[in-house]
Structures are given as C-alpha cells and as structure tokens.
Amino acid sequence: MNLLLPASLHAWGDDAFPQTLKRELEALDAGTLPLQQGLTSGSAVLDMPIQVMPLGASEEDGRIRARVGVFFASVIAGCNCADDPTPVEPQNEYCELWVVIDRGTAEAWFEPAS
C-alpha cells in the first residue's frame, strides 16, 4: 500500500510540521498503522479514531524521520459465547512509531520505535 503524506512533506522545516503530521495521521484508519505490534492490554486493535502526539523529527538521507506517540483502543477478543467472562470494554493503548517520509515522493511508511 502506498501511503502519501503530502501536507506533512510540504510543511517540513516549518513550525507547522508537527500539527500537520498529527492531522494527516489522525485522518488515517487505525488499521493503516502497525498498532497490533504495540498492544499491551488487548489482543485486537479497534477501528476507532486515534490520537497522535509528535515527539520529534529529523532529516537523513532524503527522508524525514518523525517519532510519534499513538493513543488507540484495543479489545480482548474472546469467543463471543454467552458465558464468556472476557471483558469487552475498549482498552486504552499507547505505542511509539517512526514515520518515515520520502522527500522526493511523499511516500510514507511506519516502523515500530523501541
């Protein structure tokens, strides 16, 4: 999947970059990001709006590398049986990702930050 972040690329080097990146990422479906790898409480990422917190960014080798914190929701997937005691309330989750944006094409991809 080719994900483009043209507004973030255009805002690079400007004070508006963090807010622009935040806005573009929050417009994505939760399934677009590799959030499953960051689960700590649940077993499945919920398709609910996410919140993004830009943590920092730099440029290297023609690419913008931005570290972001992502707040999202998960659920503990049970068997859906009538007597299943597994809670079905959304669980709050947080993980950090690297967002890498190609300066020539605005193509972006994600890497887990450890």
Q: What is the pLDDT of residues 68-81, one digit of tens each?
A: 999 999 988 766 66
pLDDT in tens, 9-35: 999 999 999 999 999 999 999 889 999
Residues in the chain: 114
Do the beta carbons of residue 62 and residue 19 sit within 8 Å? no
Residue 1 has pLDDT above 60, yes or no: no
Residue 30 and residue 48 in contact, taking contact as beta carbons nearer than 8 Å: yes
Residue 100 has pLDDT above 60, yes or no: yes
Please report the pLDDT score of residue 87 as a whole number.
Answer: 59
**Which of 2, 3, 8 minimizes the C-alpha distance to 103?**
8
- In this prediction, residue 78 carries a pLDDT of 65
- Write the DSSP symbol of residue 62: T
Question: How many CA atoms within 13 Å lie on the side-chain side of 8?
Answer: 29
User: What is the pLDDT of the chain when averaged over all its residues?
Assistant: 90
Q: Between residues 94 and 88, which one has the greater pLDDT?
A: 94
Could you tell me the pTM of the whole model?
Answer: 0.87
Least confident of 53-57, 86-90, 96-100: 86-90
Q: At 69, list the tokens.
A: 């914190």
Q: Are 7 and 23 in contact (CB under 8 A)?
A: yes
Contact 68, 53 (CB under 8 A): yes
DSSP H helices in 16-97: 17-26
